[in-house]
Structures are given as C-alpha cells and as structure tokens.
Amino acid sequence: MADLYLCADIGATNARFAAVRADGEQLQVVQRIQLASAAHASVVELLQAARNQLAGEFSAIALALPGPVMGGCCRVTLLPWLISEVEIEQATGLPCRLLNDLEAQGWGIDQLAASELVCLTPERTGQPGNRCIIAPGSDLGEAILYWDGQQHRPFPTEGGHCDFAPSDELEWQLAELLMEQYGQARWGDLLSGRGIVALYRMLAADSSCCKSGEDIADLANQGDSAAAEAIARFLRLLGREAANLGLKSMALDGVYIAGGIVPSLPRPQVQSLVLEGFDAKPSMAHLLQTIPLRLICSDNLGILGCGRFLRQNPRRDLGA
C-alpha cells in the first residue's frame, strides 16, 4: 500500500514542501509548493502554512534542515529556530523525523533521473566506494555517503564551518577581512552567495557593494571584469574544497555538487574552473584524477531524500 509523506527542504531563504507518494521503492512528488522561510515565526507555523496548501492524508513528516540534528532537535543555521521532532509531532499528530539538509540530499541522489545529473568528468568512471556531496547556497553544506557493500548511507557533517586556507595574497586579505567580521574565515563564508559578494567587493575595490551573488553572476555575463573574476575564483575555490572533501571521504564513486548557485552558472565555465581547482593537489593528483565530478540539477533532491529516508526507516510510534 502506498504511503503519502509530507517532505520539506527548508533553507534560510526558501522552504520547499511536497506531498511525496511512496509505493514500494518508487517515489513520486505529487504536489510541491515554496514558501519564504523567514516570513514565519517558527517551523510549526511554516509547517501549518504548508499543510493548508497541500492536499492529502499524510502518514509521516520529514524535514531537511540546515544545521546539526542531535537527539531529535536542530538549531537552524541562519534562522532563529530551535526545532524538535516532539514539538512537531505534538502540533501535527504525525510522526516526524528531522534530517540535516545535506544528509537528506545524500539520500536523494539515487532517486534522480539521468537527466538531472551532469558528469563534469566523462572520462572518469570511478569505482564502487564512498561518495560525498558539497552544496554552496545560503551557506555551504557537506555530507559523506559511505558504501556498506550494498548501498550508500549518508551521514552529515558541518564541514562548511571549517577554516579556509588562503593560497595567495588576495585570499589572505580576504581571510583577514572575514576574521575581522566573523572571528573566523570559514569555507562557508566563501562558497555561498555572500562569498561571491565578498570576492566581488575585494576585486572591484568596492566595500559598499550591496549586490547579490545572482546580480554579480549577471554582471559577469555582461562583461564586468571584476564580476567575472569573482565567479571564476569562486568556482576554483569550490573545486579545491570539493577535492578536500573527496580526499577526506575517499569518495571513489564520485563527488557530487548540489545547491542553487552552480547549476545556474555557464556549464563550460563550471566544468573547466571547478576541475582546475579540484585537480590542483600534486601530492594526490593520481587519486583525484580517477574521481568523477557530477553536478546535480534538481530542485527536488532534498525532498526525494526525505521520502527515501522515511521509506527505508520504518516510522516509530508517537512519543517513542
């Protein structure tokens, strides 16, 4: 018998909700809506707004959230929310599971159609083993998928909060500015929309710039040299950190790039510059040059991952 799940991929800016029908191993998104996350005072209020628009009798809820999930609770990154499974179960009367957003995306990879995956390294076939996923967006998410001999099992990390390692004079200057502003120079401060803005401000010598990362990408397409260099450096940095994650996880079966930023950039530029940064580790070039790089082009990745997680992990009774 088919189940109907209420699944959501909640980010700092937008929250995507969907009714997902699970029939055996098949998952189908039957209805999807998008709401503004910050327009709601709490996740319970956000969830209620979604239920008012989605039809169906749901059997369980799964929410993918930007932040660490511990003991059924999550303090959401970039939003003033502390969320618990128990609170949501009490408010909705439905079993609920919280997942880190990159963990959910990891669960979703094998649900994607072939057309939603773009191999940036067609000559690299990889081999059975671990995978990893890196996703620049409002912040930077990272997860590892270990291979247990039968399937990939995702586990989340908070790698986006790890220290950035500058490699030239401009990056040292940028790291110093980030240290002054945040007390730490994180990879997430660079591989994100605000990271593109920080790079552009440095390259254009315009500390008052209030453009968005999307605006800067548009300027790059229009021939603005500082914007073009900001995007190019962003992509090379992404390749470097993707290689870092690939080495730490021994991701022999592939490094996957997700998030909302990279799929919107010109594909030839993404392919050449990310790969340039990825391969720039002489001590492990022989290994990295065997690892496939794949770009995910799907808005449903986290939603499908929530559905697959619920399908593979039998739901518990309320309060258990």
Instruction: Looking at the structure, tell me whether residues 122 and 269 fall in a common domain.
Output: yes
Position 277 confidence tier, pLDDT thresholds 50, 70, 90: very high
Q: Find the domain containing 159 and state its range.
A: 114-296
Instruction: Looking at the structure, tell me whether residues 98 and 136 fall in a common domain.
Output: no
Instruction: Looking at the structure, tell me whether residues 40 and 79 fall in a common domain.
Output: yes
- CA 71 to chain CA centroid, nearest Å: 22
Q: Which residue has the tokens 């590892």?
A: 144
Instruction: Looking at the structure, tell me whether residues 61 and 127 fall in a common domain.
Output: no
* Domain CATH number, residue 83: 3.30.420.40
Task: Report if residue 268 sits inside a domain.
Answer: yes
Position 316 confidence tier, pLDDT thresholds 50, 70, 90: low
Instruction: Looking at the structure, tell me whether residues 57 and 14 fall in a common domain.
Output: yes
Task: Evaluate whether 134 touches 257 at the Cβ level (below 8 Å).
Answer: yes
Instruction: Looking at the structure, tell me whether residues 157 and 90 fall in a common domain.
Output: no
Burial of 269 (0-12, 13-18, 19+ CB in 10 A): middle
In 3D, which of 200, 264, 278, 292 has the Cα closest to residue 236? 278
- Would you state the structure tokens that stand for residue 314, as one six-digit string? 């039998």
> Does pLDDT of 173 surpass 70?
yes
Give φ, ψ of 208 to 5 degrees: -95, 0
Position 208 confidence tier, pLDDT thresholds 50, 70, 90: confident
CA distance 174 to 185: 8
Instruction: Looking at the structure, tell me whether residues 255 and 306 fall in a common domain.
Output: no
Instruction: Looking at the structure, tell me whether residues 147 and 278 fall in a common domain.
Output: yes
Number of domains forming the structure of the chain: 2
Q: Tens digits of per-residue pLDDT, 149-166?
A: 999 999 999 999 999 999
* Domain CATH number, residue 170: 3.40.367.20
Task: Report if residue 317 sits inside a domain.
Answer: no
In this prediction, residues 197-201 reach a mean pLDDT of 94
Query: Residues 268, 131, 312, 150: is their CA dihedral positive or negative?
Result: positive
Task: Evaluate whether 85 touches 97 at the Cβ level (below 8 Å).
Answer: yes
pTM for the model? 0.94
CA distance 5 to 88: 14
Instruction: Looking at the structure, tell me whether residues 140 and 288 fall in a common domain.
Output: yes
